[in-house]
Structure 1
C-alpha cells in the first residue's frame, strides 16, 4: 500500500544523512508482519531472490522484461553507467559507524549493492544511465511487539533524460509493477516468516 511520504521523512532513519540531494519518489507499507528482529529475514529474502518477477501476473512480468530488454538494447545498464564509474557509491558518504558495520548480504539477481544494515533499517543502491537510486527498508513498530517493513525509493535522475524516464514509467510503477510486487511479497513472506520466524 502506498503511503504518505511523511511516513518516511518523519522517522529518524540514518538514510537521511547520506541522501540530501536525492528525491523521495515513493513510500510503501509492505505486507510483511513480523517480530522485532525479523528485518534480517526480510533482507535475506529480498537479496536472495533470483528473479523478483517470477511470480508476478503477466502484465507486470511483461513490463519487467521489456525494461531489461530496452536496457540491453540501448546500453542503459552497461557498467560505464553504474556505481563507481558514472557516479560514486554512497558508501563514500557513510559515517564511520555505518561504514564499519554490516552492509547486509549481496544481491543474487538484481544490480543493487548493499549500503548498511541495522536492526531496524537497511539500504541498497544502484545506478544506470537513467538514475542513481536507493531502496530503503525500515522496520516499523505496530505495537504489541509487531512490526512491518516500509519501503522508500529515493532517486537522483541523470539529467533531462533521467527525469523524462522517471516521469514516463511512474504510471506503470504505481498501477502495475508495485501492486504485483506487493502480492508476490505477501505470499513469499508468509512462507518465510511462517517457516523460520513465526509472526508474533
Structure 2
C-alpha cells in the first residue's frame, strides 16, 4: 500500500543522517500479520528466499528487462556512471557504528549495493546516469500490536534529465512494479516457515 512521504520522514531512522540531499520519492507498506518486534531479520531472509527476479510477474520482468536493455543502448549504466564513479557511495558518509553493520546481502534479488543494516533498518543503493537511488527498508509498529515492513525510495536525480526520467517511470512504479512487489514480499512472509525451514534462525 502506498503511504505519504511523512510515513517515512517522521520516523527516527538513521538514514536521515546521511540523505539530507535526497528526495523521498516513494513510501510503501507491506503487511506481515503476526509479526513481532524481532522479526525484521526473518522478513529479510524470507524475501531473499522467495523474492528473486524469476518469481516476479511477467510484466514486471519485462519492464526491468526493457530498462536494462535501454540502459545498455543509451549508456546509462556504463562503467564510471555508478557508485564511486559519477556518484559517491553513501558508505563514505557513514559513522563507524553503521559502517561495520553490513553483511553483503540484499533481499529479493535486488541489484543494490548494501549500505548498512540494523535491527530495524536495512539500506541499499544504486547509481547510474539517471539518478542515485536508495532503498530503505524499515520495521515499524502498526499501532495495533503488530509490525509491518515499510519501503522508502530516496532519489537524487542527475540534473534535468534525471528528474524527467523519474517522472516518466512513476506510473510504472506505482501501478505495476510496487503492487507486484507487494504481492511477492507479502507472500514470502506468509510462506516464511517453508522458505526458511532448512536454514538457521535469521534472528541468531
Report the TM-score range of the alignment, normalised by the length of the smaller protein.
0.7 to 0.9
Change (3 A) 1:165 1:97: same
TM-score (norm 2): 0.86
Q: How far off is 1:189 after superposition?
A: 2.1
- The 1:176–1:144 alpha-carbon spacing in structure 2 relative to 1, beyond 3 Å, is closer
Partner of 2:103: 104
Q: Please list every run of 5 or more consecutive structure 2 residues that lacks an aligned counterpart in the other structure.
A: none
Q: Which position in structure 1 is the counterpart of 2:157?
A: 157
Alignment partners' CA distance in 1, 2:81 and 2:49: 24
**Deviation at residue 145 of structure 1 after TM alignment:** 5.5
Shift of 1:58: 2.7
Question: In angstroms, what is the RMSD of aligned CA positions?
Answer: 2.2
Shift, 1:146, TM fit: 2.6
Report the Cα offset of residue 46 of structure 1.
4.2
Is residue 36–residue 145 contact of structure 1 (8 Å, CA) maintained in 2? Answer: no
Name which of structure 1's ranges 142-151 and 121-130 shifts more when overlaid on structure 2: 142-151
Instruction: Return the offset for 1:148.
Output: 1.0
| Alignment partner, residue 76 of structure 1 | 76
Aligned equivalent of 1:89? 89
* Structure 1 residues 150-193: Cα deviation after superposition (integer angstroms, max 9, x where no partner): 00000000111111110100011111111111111122221125
C-alpha change, 1:46 and 1:194, in structure 2 (3 Å) is closer
Within a 5 Å distance, the mapping from 1:1-200 to structure 2 comes to 1-33=1-33, 34-46=35-47, 51-52=52-53, 54-100=54-100, 102-107=101-106, 109-143=109-143, 146-193=146-193, 196=196
Encode CA deviations 1:108-156: one digit per residue, 9 max, x unaligned: 8443111111111111111111100100011001357531110000000
Instruction: Check the 8 A contact 2:133/2:153 in 1, yes or no.
Output: yes
Q: Secondary structure at the match of 1:149?
A: strand
Q: Is the 8 A contact 2:51 2:184 kept in 1?
A: no
Aligned mates of 2:111, 2:36 — CA distance in 1: 29
Deviation at 1:44, TM superposition (A): 3.3
